[in-house]
């Protein structure tokens, strides 16, 4: 028998309690012990819930109960999750969290405390919801040198972009729909501005490099400026636009960013639609692999928490070696990032042909029936080179009193 506590009885916390009850035997079989829920910490009472008799309001009860060997943190946010988790680890308890903000901000320190105290700090549910990506990295790709991780890591934005793609609808309308359906928060900023994806790709990059990654170093763009017009071009081009967290480890440097990216049907992440998440990993021996599943939702995310609880129970007396050390991983300058670019410009493609070629080199041009604009796709180039070209080109346009570039989207497409 192993006693556990849950801190935070929200969607995920209640899901964990539900699975612990429903799958009790299977979990006991996998863990080698029955895992028994002793406390649920929450400010609220839940008199009608199955855990009513286990609700406590005082963290000290959990911290000081030596019977509790395993604590699940599903409160979210950094405060008080951070001091609570730290105190649990210091008290020699395993901690499992679904909290990406906590892991991205304090993972290095919490992993070190876990190592020092011979317990485990697991956070599978913090990235990709139910997709077992973190365990795959440290259990399955252990001998691999990771070269790239690219992920659709946020279900809300993927739901929005999928709907924009399929229905040709505008961002604002689809966002409202997503909010009504409960797929987007009333304050959607963390999702649509890419902050959530940024924390997740920071965690994956830290695991891939074994070093600390400051998520603030990762250049992050959201999807708020993606329009239905972009998707009209995408349809014509056989592509779609996805919000990707990308991390590339090349020549001793780490390149990372979060941005909406145009990809085509050949890309393994193209068919990751709706609220699903998908994570593509390139590594030196295995090559390309991809992991797909529910990126959010009560039971899928809680399932990942429970998988961590089972692994903690299996390793009750030992720290499982993974995660990253304190050394900091620098993120390469964004100007060095290489990509193709999808660019939309007011006016007539034929009139600009020479100027476009002079500024951007050879491009592929696309014209939308009946639109007052056109688009082109550049060859692969560094962001620095592209930005210089764009500024020069826009300068020319403005001198002539013409409208400048309307849209720029990164494109991960094979060269024509």
Tell me the closest approach of the beta carbon of residue 57 to a second copy, in angstroms: 28
Find all residues with CB under 8 Å of 387, minimum gap 6, and list them.
335
| Shorter beta-carbon distance to a second copy: residue 43 or 285 | 285
Cα 298 to Cα 316: distance, rounded to the nearest angstrom: 26
CB closer to a second copy, 61 vs 140? 140
Q: Which two tokens stand for residue 259?
A: 């941005």
Dihedral pair phi/psi, residue 341, rounded to 5°: -130, 135
Q: How far is CA 130 from the centre of its chain?
A: 12
Residue 379 per-residue DSSP state = -
299 binds a second copy (CB under 8 A): yes
Helices assigned H by DSSP within 56-212: 59-64, 81-90, 100-116, 133-135, 155-167, 171-180, 189-192, 195-209
Determine the Cα–Cα distance for residues 236 and 367; give it in Å rounded to an integer. 9
Which residue in 223, 254, 233 sits closest to 373, CA to CA?
Answer: 233
Q: Which of 107, 222, 245, 293 binds a second copy (CB under 8 A)?
A: 293
Q: Which of 49, 61, 237, 270 binds a second copy (CB under 8 A)?
A: 270
Window 9-28: residues binding a second copy (CB under 8 A)? 19, 22-23, 26-27
> Which range touches a second copy (CB under 8 A), out of 109-117, 306-314, 353-361, 406-414?
306-314
Residue 200 a catalytic site member: yes
Contact status: 285 vs a second copy (CB under 8 A) = yes
Q: How far apart are CA 71 and CA 63, in angstroms?
A: 9
Report yes or no: 36 and 6 within 8 Å, Cβ to Cβ.
Answer: no
Contact window for a second copy (CB under 8 A) among 163-171, 284-292, 327-335, 382-390: 284-292
400 lies in the site for a second copy, by CB under 8 A: no
Marked catalytic residue, from 163, 200, 242, 282: 200
We find the least distance from the C-beta atom of residue 131 to a second copy, in angstroms, to be 6
Q: Tell the smallest beta-carbon distance from residue 71 to a second copy (Å).
A: 18
What string marks each residue from 126 to 165 as x (binds a second copy by CB under 8 A) or -? Answer: ----xxx--xx--xxxxxxx--------------------
The phi, psi pair for 250, rounded to 5°, reads -140, 130
Q: Distance of CA 285 to CAs 94, 143, 279, Å?
A: 33, 9, 18
DSSP class per residue in 44-58: S--TTSTTGGGEES-
Residue 263 lies near a second copy (rule: CB under 8 A): no
Instruction: Between 320 and 409, name the residue whose CB sits nearer to a second copy.
Output: 320
- In the complex with a second copy, the residue whose CB is nearer, 71 or 131, is 131
Residue 136 per-residue DSSP state? I
- Single out the segment in contact with a second copy by CB under 8 A; choices: 46-54, 163-171, 180-188, 268-276: 268-276
Residue 303 in the binding site for a second copy (CB under 8 A): yes
8 A C-beta contact, residue 387 and residue 378: no
Q: Does 311 bind a second copy (CB under 8 A)?
A: yes
**Could you list the residues that contact a second copy (CB under 8 A)?**
19, 22-23, 26-27, 30-32, 124, 130-132, 135-136, 139-145, 265, 268, 270-271, 283-294, 297, 299-300, 302-304, 306-307, 310-311, 321
Q: Which residues are catalytic?
A: 200
């Amino acid at each position: 028998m192993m006693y556990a506590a849950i801190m935070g009885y929200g969607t995920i916390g209640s899901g964990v309690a539900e699975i612990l009850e429903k799958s009790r035997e299977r979990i006991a079989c996998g863990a080698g012990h029955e895992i028994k829920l002793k406390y649920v910490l929450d400010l609220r009472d839940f008199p009608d819930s199955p855990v009513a008799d286990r609700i406590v309001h005082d963290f000290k009860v959990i911290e000081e109960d030596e019977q509790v060997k395993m604590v699940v943190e599903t409160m979210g946010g950094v405060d008080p999750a951070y001091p609570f988790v730290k105190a649990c680890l210091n008290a020699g308890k395993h901690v499992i969290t679904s909290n990406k903000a906590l892991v991205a901000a304090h993972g290095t320190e919490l992993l070190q405390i876990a190592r020092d105290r011979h317990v485990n700090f697991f956070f599978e549910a913090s990235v990709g919801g139910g997709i077992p990506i973190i365990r795959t990295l440290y259990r399955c790709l252990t001998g691999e040198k990771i070269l790239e991780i690219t992920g659709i890591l946020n279900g809300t934005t993927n739901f929005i972009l999928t709907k924009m793609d399929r229905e040709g609808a505008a961002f604002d309308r689809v966002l409202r729909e997503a909010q009504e359906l409960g797929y987007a928060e009333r304050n959607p900023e963390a999702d649509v501005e890419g902050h959530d994806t940024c924390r997740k790709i920071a965690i994956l990059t830290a695991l891939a490099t074994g070093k600390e990654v400051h998520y603030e170093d990762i250049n992050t763009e959201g999807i708020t400026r993606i329009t239905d017009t972009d998707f009209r071009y995408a349809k014509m081009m056989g592509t779609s636009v996805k919000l990707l967290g990308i991390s590339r480890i090349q020549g001793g440097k780490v390149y990372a960013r979060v941005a909406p990216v145009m990809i085509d049907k050949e890309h393994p992440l193209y068919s990751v639609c709706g609220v699903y998440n998908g994570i593509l990993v390139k590594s030196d021996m295995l090559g390309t692999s991809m992991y797909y599943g529910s990126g959010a939702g009560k039971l899928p995310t809680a399932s990942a928490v429970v998988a961590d609880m089972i692994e903690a129970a299996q390793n009750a007396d030992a720290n499982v070696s993974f995660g990253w050390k304190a050394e900091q991983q620098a993120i390469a300058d964004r100007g060095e990032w290489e990509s193709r670019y999808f660019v939309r410009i007011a006016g007539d493609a034929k009139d600009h042909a020479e100027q476009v070629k002079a500024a951007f080199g050879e491009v592929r041009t696309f014209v939308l029936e009946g639109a007052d604009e056109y688009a082109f796709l550049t060859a692969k180039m560094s962001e620095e080179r592209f930005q210089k070209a764009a500024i020069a080109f826009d300068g020319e346009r403005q001198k002539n009193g013409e409208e400048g570039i309307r849209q720029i989207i990164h494109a991960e497409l094979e060269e024509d």
